[in-house]
């Protein structure tokens, strides 16, 4: 059944049921996404202050068969937060639901509302000398509800897992307006299907997350960071195995960085201090967090010495102060900024079995070269197999020169990923950008099950229409 627009009559119905202060005109930021691929539509923007108000919006929208697009921080990179097609929807922003409802230090648990900015969740944990380890480039504006809705990854997945692994329970509103009170703080609960994990990663297509019980972790007593130059990605993978043997679960991050990213930094951010005068072809950033009585610098030095002896490492630098650690991390964290300034023809958020990463990196340029001459910046979270494989114009050209080739590049990269048993969506979600990819690469049984779940929970198809699953009818 087709959806109806959030027109003036619907808006009046919604306004008659909710306080006028919850409504405001739709600013441009609600209709844009960071990469500028889509321009959204809006019939009405509503900013509820509590879960019951969210439920009231969904009850009214469901009865009127009007689409609802949940909105968090707007930082998503696959178009999941805007609706460029179909009737104008309700934009449901969680930005006023920002409370830290409770902290349980002895349980290592924090309960936050969905609109709480990720950095504020981190700060609330830090105030109790604890750690909420989810860390992303957009943590100053991304909201925890959106992080959970996309099952965000980030820099510390190797040690702490994705957003799904950091959540114990949820409060959520289903499409018919029913509230699921699932804010469990239990670490063991085998009472039937895990509804929490169904909603996490669903990108607002099955309901609206309004609050979450989040796992905290002890803060490492000592932290250390090193940059180590490796001959190639295969050596980097062997270094990861050696690092695990030395440091076990003490490794927080293991990032692979290619020369192209360093060259982009020199070109677009020349004031950024880089650790090597000559950019190495490949290097890894290793971050460790250790308990009391352990010295990260000494541990990293022992790793370096063994790795150098076996030929896995050619050069390296170890941070001996927090300032140096910040400088090392700045190199990794500002690569996406330099990338944006260059302007990619096609970006890819992929994951692969760890052992397949070196072969993929070897074969990738071959499939791209069949399309044309491009620069490739491959970097990312080697520790969990999640690589950002981005394709850029040759010097002297820009992405506008290659619009006709963008889809061919994406298809070539994703076909190779699929052939090597990887995923075309590692940590950014499907959104609207990758709906075709999901249909092409997903297991048919899984896809049928997803559609059945969607039809059962959201029979009118009001929740984030067009995201993840193509809307039928």
pLDDT tens figures, 405-418 = 999 999 999 999 99
Contact 225, 199 (CB under 8 A): no
Same topology, domains 100-218 and 222-336? Answer is: no
What's residue 98's pLDDT? 98
Q: What is the pLDDT of residues 147-175, one digit of tens each?
A: 999 999 999 999 999 999 999 999 999 99
Contact present, 34 and 53 (Cβ < 8 Å): no
Please say if the pLDDT value at position 84 is more than 80: yes
| Res 340 pLDDT > 90 | yes
Span 68-93, average pLDDT: 95
Instruction: State the DSSP string of 227-253.
Output: EEE-SSHHHHHHHHHHHHHHHGGGEEE
- The chain-wide mean pLDDT, for the chain, equals 96
Question: Is the C-alpha dihedral spanning 309, 312, 313, 319 positive or negative?
Answer: negative
Q: Enumerate residues 6+ apart whose C-beta is below 8 A from 325.
A: 223, 224, 225, 319
Tell me how crowded residue 458 is: count the other CB atoms within 10 A of its CB: 21
If DSSP codes are grouped into helix, strand and coil, which group holds residue 344? coil
Domain spans of the chain, in order of start? 100-218, 222-336, 343-428
Q: CA neighbours within 13 Å on the CB side: how many for 44?
A: 26
Q: Decide if 382 contacts 256 (C-beta within 8 A).
A: yes
Residues in the chain: 473
Gap between the Cα atoms of 112 and 140, Å rounded: 16
* Strand order across the 208-215 sheet: 100-104, 109-113, 208-215, 167-173, 179-182
Between 3.90.76.10, 3.30.70.2190, 3.30.465.10, 3.40.50.150, what CATH number should domain 100-218 receive?
3.30.465.10
Q: Give residue-wise pLDDT tens across range 361-393.
A: 999 999 999 999 999 999 999 999 999 999 999
Residue 471: pLDDT over 90 = no
Phi-psi region of 470 (alpha: psi -120 to 50; beta: other; left: phi over 0): beta
- Residue 29, pLDDT > 90, answer yes
Q: Please name the residue that has the structure tokens 């996406």.
A: 336
Where residue 1 falls among pLDDT bands split at 50, 70, 90?
confident
CATH number for the domain running over 222-336: 3.30.70.2190
Does the pLDDT at position 15 exceed 90?
A: yes
CA 361 – CA 339 distance, rounded (Å)? 18
Mean pLDDT of all residues in 92-119: 98
* pLDDT, mean of residues 132-140: 94
300: closest CA among 254, 352, 234?
Answer: 254
List CB contacts of 234: < 8 A, sequence separation 6 or more. 358
pLDDT bucket at 293, cuts 50 / 70 / 90: confident
What band does 26 get if pLDDT is binned at 50, 70 and 90?
very high
Helices (H), 127-187: 144-149, 157-160
Which tokens is 100 given? 């830290």
Given CA atoms 292, 303, 264, 411 in this order, what sign does their dihedral have? negative
**CATH code 3.30.720.200 for 343-428:** no
The set of long-range contacts for 434-437, using a CB threshold of 8 Å and a minimum separation of 24, is 434/78, 435/466, 435/467, 435/468, 435/469, 435/470
What is the C-alpha to C-alpha distance for residues 87 and 136, in angstroms, rounded to an integer?
Answer: 33
Task: Calculate mean pLDDT across residues 388-403.
Answer: 94
Q: Which long-range contacts (CB under 8 A, 24 or more apart) does 28-35 make?
A: 29/74, 30/71, 30/74, 30/82, 30/91, 30/93, 31/82, 32/74, 32/82, 33/74, 33/76, 33/77, 33/79, 33/81, 33/82, 34/74, 34/75, 34/76, 34/77, 35/77, 35/347
Q: What is the pLDDT of residues 191-209, one digit of tens each?
A: 999 999 999 999 999 999 9
pLDDT exceeds cutoff 80 at 473: no
């Amino acid at each position: 059944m087709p959806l109806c627009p959030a027109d003036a009559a619907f808006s009046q119905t919604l306004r008659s049921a909710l306080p006028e202060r919850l409504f405001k005109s739709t600013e441009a930021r609600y209709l844009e996404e960071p990469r500028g691929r889509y321009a959204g539509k809006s019939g009405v923007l509503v900013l509820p202050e509590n879960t019951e108000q969210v439920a009231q919006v969904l009850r009214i929208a469901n009865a009127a068969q009007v689409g609802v697009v949940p909105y968090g921080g707007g930082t998503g990179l696959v178009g999941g937060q805007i609706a460029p097609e179909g009737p104008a929807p309700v934009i449901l922003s969680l930005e006023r639901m920002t409370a830290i409802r409770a902290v349980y230090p002895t349980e290592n648990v924090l309960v936050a509302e969905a609109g709480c900015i990720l950095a504020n969740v981190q700060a609330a944990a830090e105030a109790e000398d604890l750690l909420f380890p989810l860390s992303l480039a957009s943590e100053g504006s991304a909201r925890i509800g959106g992080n959970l809705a996309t099952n965000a990854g980030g820099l510390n997945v190797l040690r702490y897992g994705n957003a799904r692994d950091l959540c114990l329970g949820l409060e959520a509103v289903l499409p018919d307006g029913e509230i699921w009170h699932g804010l469990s703080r239990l670490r063991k609960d085998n009472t039937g299907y895990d509804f929490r994990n169904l909603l996490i990663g669903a990108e607002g297509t099955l309901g609206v997350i309004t609050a979450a019980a989040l796992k905290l972790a002890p803060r490492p007593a000592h932290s250390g960071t090193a940059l180590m130059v490796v001959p190639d990605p295969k050596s980097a993978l062997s270094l990861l195995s050696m690092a695990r043997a030395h440091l076990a679960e003490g490794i927080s991050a293991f990032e692979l960085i290619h020369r192209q990213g360093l060259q982009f930094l020199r070109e677009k951010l020349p004031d950024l201090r880089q650790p090597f005068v000559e950019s190495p072809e490949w290097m890894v950033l290793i971050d460790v967090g250790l308990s009391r009585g352990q010295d990260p610098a000494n541990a990293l030095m022992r790793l370096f010495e063994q790795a150098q002896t076996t030929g896995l490492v050619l050069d390296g630098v170890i941070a001996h102060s927090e300032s140096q650690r910040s400088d090392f991390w700045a190199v990794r964290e500002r690569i996406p900024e330099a990338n944006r300034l260059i302007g990619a023809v096609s970006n890819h958020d992929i994951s692969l079995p760890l052992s397949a990463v070196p072969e993929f990196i070897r074969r990738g340029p071959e499939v791209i070269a069949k399309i044309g001459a491009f620069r490739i910046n491959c970097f990312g979270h080697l520790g969990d197999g999640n690589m950002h494989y981005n394709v850029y114009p040759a010097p002297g050209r820009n992405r506008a020169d290659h619009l006709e080739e963008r889809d061919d590049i994406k298809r070539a990269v994703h076909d190779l990923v699929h052939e090597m048993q990887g995923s075309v969506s590692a940590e950014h979600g499907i959104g609207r950008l990758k709906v075709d990819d999901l249909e092409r690469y997903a297991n048919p049984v899984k896809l049928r099950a997803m559609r059945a779940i969607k039809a059962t929970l959201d029979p009118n198809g009001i929740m984030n229409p067009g995201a993840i699953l193509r809307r039928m009818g």
